[in-house]
Structure 1
């Protein structure tokens, strides 16, 4: 046998020993790792309709003036349809909100939050939406059928939104977007958007 053949035979023996050593470390058993994580998605919101999905950590960085009070809240019922608009808002805007014809730019879900936490989340979310010039947003507050008193969160959210200058109108969402447990909200146009609109109409 030549030196080359001896060398190749030696490499084969060493390779065999290493393979056996590795197997022995695993007690002769190799297990396949199975991915057992399941990605959970909200069934109530069609993600394809949203332009941006931001985590609560991002929302928490936004700030807005503390303009809403929680005093003298008008309590509503779990299945009440909520409607609000400021003077000058056309009726067709509410109709489109009711039918879900506007596409929400983003949304928040207040389930599991205290009233205090919800207040902070709503205010910061409005600030976030204002910064990014969103016109339509969705706030999921739940019906509050099990809260004491009933519709506690729903009543507070409706009360706060009426006091925020950026909120021009809102309407309870259609069933496929949360129904009486959610609100479609129209926000005030930014100064930049208003100027652009005026320029467009002037050119017509």
Structure 2
């Protein structure tokens, strides 16, 4: 017996012994045994699916499908109207691009999260995601709908809007991203020297 094993057994002995954890059986509840809140939540979910919404398998939330020709638009509180207008009009230089054509929903989700993280690390402020409109598909606008659902959940995204025609129109989205910690510190130092 190694010295480590002996030390471990001695330590266990000082604690008064070891007992195995009690495992409770998992039993599937019958429909009539379900709590009222769970039943009402399932009823709301069924009603939402019938109203034209799709279950998002990634987050467990409901994804409202976007019409392929509808613009995407989002702005967090604190983003100046002029800044948002310039983003919407495509006046900022696009420093990074992500093309999601031929991606599955799961591949797109992973790619979007990695893309936003990489943009923040590289101090990119304006980026473009090309997702397509999804016209002529069995589920029109699925990736576009996912982008519309995911981007507000990422705190690094300050605003987004459907792109201008020369950048892909309704099949692409501009992103305005938060400054990295390093850029914020540089701005703070630059502005404090002026005083």
TM-score by length of 1: 0.63
1:165 and 2:137 are equivalent in the alignment = no
Higher CA-based Rg: 1
Describe the SS at the equivalent of 1:79: coil
Q: Deviations over 1:52-95 (max 9, x none)?
A: xxxxxxxxxxxxxxxx8362112111111111011100111221
1:176 and 2:163 are equivalent in the alignment = no
1:94 and 2:48 are equivalent in the alignment = no
Describe the SS at the equivalent of 2:63: coil
1:1-204 aligned at under 5 Å gives the runs 69=59, 71-202=61-192, 203=194
Relative contact order: is structure 1 or structure 2 higher (C-alpha 8 Å, sep ≥ 6)? 1
TM-score by length of 2: 0.66
Q: Deviations over 1:76-134 (max 9, x none)?
A: 11111111011100111221112111111110111111111111111111121122121
Gaps of 5+ in 2: 1-57
Q: Deviations over 1:16-68 (max 9, x none)?
A: xxxxxxxxxxxxxxxxxxxxxxxxxxxxxxxxxxxxxxxxxxxxxxxxxxxx8
Describe the SS at the equivalent of 2:135: coil
Kindly indicate whether the alpha-carbon contact (under 8 Å) linking 1:73 and 1:155 is maintained by their aligned counterparts in 2. yes
CA distance in 1, matches of 2:129, 2:121: 17
Gaps of 5+ in 1: 1-67
RMSD: 1.5
CA distance in 1, matches of 2:148, 2:129: 10
Measured after TM superposition, the shift of residue 195 of structure 1 is 2.0
